[in-house]
Amino acid sequence: MDTRAVSGNKAPLELRPEPATHRLELKQTEVGSVFVSNYPPYSLWNGDHLDAFQRALDTPWTSESPPLGLYLHIPFCRKRCKFCYFRLYTDKNAAQVEAYCDALAREIELYGQQPAVAGRPVSFVYFGGGTPSYIAGKHLRELVDRVQAVLPWDRAGEIAFECEPGTLSESKLATIRSIGVTRLSLGVQNFNDHILEINGRAHVSMETYRALPWIRALEFEQLNIDLIAGLIGETWETWRQSVRETIDVGPDSVTIYQMELPYNTRFSRQLLDGALGAELADWTLKREWHAYAFDQLASAGYEISSSYTMVRKDTRGSFLYRDSLWHGADMLGTGVSSFGHLSGVHAQNTASWSSYLERVAIDELPLERAYSTTPLDRLTREVILQMKTGSLEVSYFRHKFGIDILEQFGPAFDKLAQQGMLNTTEDAVELTPNGLLQVDMLLPEFYAPEHRPARYT
């Protein structure tokens, strides 16, 4: 979450379930966060560090500043999936959506006035959600016109946009293409309609297939399809079906996540109440499904780009947003609850709808909490995030931080090597296939001792 030092594309690996002697202790899917997107843990961020973020905003950028990205949170969905933990709304009318888009544009205009941002080139843009494709084409066009006036992205290397298939029309896709989107990410999750239904998804597979010809005709540079291994109701038969249909579609890249259950999801509440049991796949089975998908995609001409992603060899598929953040880029996180990073300081917006709108209306950045990182925090953050690519280059960290990571994190590397999760040489750290399949569970080994007891979110 870069100036890319670790290649985004990896050679194919044959991923197989790990032998029992190499399994980590966590086997059953329990309530709690597993996926690691940042460091230190979010629960440690607080209002006391907001002054540090303002100082970062007050410091003019220079030619030596890291790449700058822009994240726009569009927090609307047709319905909430039962496994979803994001800040989103399913009850807002057209006027409220328009008011939010107006506030989002104003927030970005406020950032555009800050010395750390004014006139600074934008390297990547990401429309995330929620469901960015939920909003009307008219609202999207108006939002983009205002943003482009203060932060033009005509020279950005990537404009990524998340879509829910059922929200797409031919005209809306044309609007999305017209604003410069290079990577369209389609949240398919599964091709089995029964599984989509019981997991609370708003779309059905027919809507995916309806949108695909429009997407191809508009010639987006990259089409990504998201899948989730371990949805409720999944079986080997249904998972093979989804993998087979994904390969038949032939997207430029495929991203696969293993379902987790953070605290604030509907399924999490059911599990804590004892109403969700045998239906829930354990981590071993989810890794088996993940490995199967990667094997099948490799046979179909894809190669590993990260622990979650396969990219077709014959395309220019890339993930600049991901790789930039994993290598320490700055990013403005805009929209309700969104988080970003600037000059070594993390910051997150208020998670309150009313507070967000009210504060932006008085020309105040809607920040709620922040965290000013230490040099060691920043080193650790890049180590754990870049491990998701499957490898670490020792020389990169020595050049950037002046530290030998094999010495700094020697005990963690040794422990994981003994468990069969990675191998080290004097030049690199390489995750094994088993390590790659469960990389997020390995990362807390690198946390500072004082951060390990903290709840992640």
The percent of residues above 70 in pLDDT, for the chain, comes to 94
Rounded to an integer, what distance in angstroms lies between the CA atom of residue 343 and that of residue 328? 9
Q: What is the pLDDT of residue 5?
A: 29
Q: What is the pLDDT of residue 278?
A: 64
Q: Domain count of the chain?
A: 2
Give the domain-ending residue among 324, 359, 389: 324
Residue 370 lies in a domain: no
Residue 335 lies in a domain: no
Please state, rounded to an integer, the average pLDDT across all residues of the chain: 92
Residues 314 and 379 in one domain: no
Nearest 5°: CA angle at 294, between 289 and 298? 150
Residue 146 lies in a domain: yes
Residue 201 lies in a domain: yes
- Over the stretch 383-393, which tens digit does the pLDDT of each residue have? 999 999 999 99
Residues 394 and 270 in one domain: no
Residue 53 has pLDDT above 90, yes or no: yes
Residue 1 lies in a domain: no
Give the residue numbers spanning the domain of 101: 20-324
Of 37, 25, 26, nearest to 457 by C-alpha is 37
- Over the stretch 203-261, which tens digit does the pLDDT of each residue have? 999 999 999 999 999 999 999 999 999 999 999 999 999 999 999 999 999 999 999 98
Residue 11 has pLDDT above 60, yes or no: no
Q: Which residues contact 319 (CB under 8 A, 6 or more apart)?
A: 8, 158, 183, 253, 305, 306, 309
Residue 37 lies in a domain: yes
For 14, 64, 310, 385, 429, the CA distances from 389, given in Å and listed in that order, are 16, 26, 11, 8, 11
Residues 69 and 332 sit within 8 Å (Cβ to Cβ): yes
Residue 60 lies in a domain: yes
Q: What is the pLDDT of residue 314?
A: 87
Residues 165 and 276 in one domain: yes
CATH of the domain at 248: 3.20.20.70
Residue 385 lies in a domain: yes
Give the domain-ending residue among 290, 324, 358: 324
Residues 281 and 401 in one domain: no
Residues 203 and 104 in one domain: yes
Residues 277 and 423 in one domain: no
CATH of the domain at 396: 1.10.10.920
